[in-house]
């Protein structure tokens, strides 16, 4: 009896160690469903023929709906995020969202005439990786992966990788360089991002 209990306990303990907290709540198909809806919205924006500023506004809405902007913003601030005050973070986070929407919204122009299709979803490390393909006119297709998690309390993407270029890694470097240029001043960084 004690033998079985011990084995059961060990097995339960091992399973608990393998499954990161919260990860069990979301399946690969849920993450894939999120990206499928996201991609449909993105495709609608690409084919809408709207002006650049309208496309940026649409992209800001998509970001708000599908991304965990809070986590992305904090991660891109790196170690500097630990010393920022709650008030500085509260001003920085929406400014960061504005900066990302403007920067990537502008790049949408390159996707005009193209289409994104969802390929596959699988667990990687502590999240779900959803693979999509960007089909562009007259060019080889691009691979775009979305990293999805529900650890914020809702299913949302926190990273995307285009042909190996990792948004979180890239923006962490860029935000770090912007903050250096502003001599570590969070208020000036926030103002610069709001003006993007």
Partner 1 sequence: MLKLPALAFVAACLSACSVAPAGETVHDPFEAHNREIHAFNKSFIEKIPRGNGDGPGLPPEIKNRIVGFADTVSLPGMVLNGIMQGDVEGVVTNGFRFLFNSTVGVLGMFDPATTMGLVEHETDFGETLAVWGIQEGAYLEVAFLGPTTERALAGRVVDAIIDPLKFVGHPKRLEYATIGSLAAGAVKLSDASDTIDSVLVDSADSYAMLRLLYLQNRRYELRTTLPEESFDPYEGIYGGQ
Minimum distance from residue 24 beta carbon to partner 1 (Å): 13
Beta carbon nearer to partner 1, 40 or 173: 173
Helix (H) or strand (E) holding 128: strand 127-135
Rounded to an integer, what distance in angstroms lies between the CA atom of residue 129 and that of residue 28? 8
Nearest residue (CB) to partner 1, 109 versus 122: 109
169 contributes a contact to partner 1 by CB under 8 A: yes
Q: Give how far Cα 101 sits from Cα of 2, 47, 50, 132, Å.
A: 58, 18, 15, 20
**For residues 39 and 95, what is the distance between their CA atoms, to the nearest angstrom?**
24
Residue 128 and residue 148: Cα distance in Å, rounded?
A: 5
The whole-angstrom separation of Cα 125 and Cα 137 is 34
**Paired tokens of 74:** 């904090």
- State which of residues 11, 54, 165, 191 lies at the interface with partner 1 (CB under 8 A): 165
Residues 6-45 within binding reach of partner 1 (CB under 8 A): 17, 20-21
- 44 vs 124 by CB, closer to partner 1: 124
Residues 70-129 that bind partner 1 (CB under 8 A): 71-72, 74-75, 103, 106-107, 109-110, 124-127
To partner 1, the closest distance from the beta carbon of 145 in angstroms equals 9
Q: How many angstroms separate the CA atoms of 118 and 37, rounded?
A: 10
Q: Is 151 in the site for partner 1 (CB under 8 A)?
A: yes
| Interface with partner 1, residue 152, by CB under 8 A | yes
DSSP notation for 141-170? -EEEEEEEE-TTSS-EEEEEEETTEEHHHH
Q: Contact with partner 1 (CB under 8 A): which of 47, 53, 119, 180?
A: 180
Question: Which spans of this chain sit near partner 1 (rule: CB under 8 A)?
Answer: 17, 20-21, 71-72, 74-75, 103, 106-107, 109-110, 124-127, 138, 140, 147, 149, 151-152, 158-159, 161, 163-166, 168-170, 173-174, 177-178, 180-181
């Amino acid at each position: 009896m004690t033998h079985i209990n011990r084995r059961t306990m060990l097995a339960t303990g091992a399973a608990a160690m393998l499954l990161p907290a919260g990860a069990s709540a979301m399946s690969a198909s849920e993450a894939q469903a999120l990206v499928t809806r996201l991609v449909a919205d993105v495709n609608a924006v690409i084919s809408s023929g709207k002006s650049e500023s309208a496309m940026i506004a649409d992209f800001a809405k998509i970001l708000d709906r599908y991304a965990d902007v809070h986590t992305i913003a904090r991660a891109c601030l790196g170690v500097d995020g630990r010393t920022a005050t709650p008030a500085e973070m509260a001003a920085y986070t929406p400014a960061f969202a504005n900066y990302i929407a403007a920067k990537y919204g502008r790049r949408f122009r390159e996707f005009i005439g193209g289409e994104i299709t969802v390929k596959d979803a699988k667990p990687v490390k502590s999240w779900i990786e959803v693979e999509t393909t960007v089909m562009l006119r007259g060019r080889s297709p691009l691979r775009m992966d979305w990293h999805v998690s529900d650890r914020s309390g809702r299913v949302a993407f926190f990273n995307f990788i285009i042909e190996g270029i990792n948004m979180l890694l890239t923006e962490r470097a860029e935000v770090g360089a912007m903050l250096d240029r502003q001599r570590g001043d969070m208020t000036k960084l926030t103002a610069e991002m709001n003006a993007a």
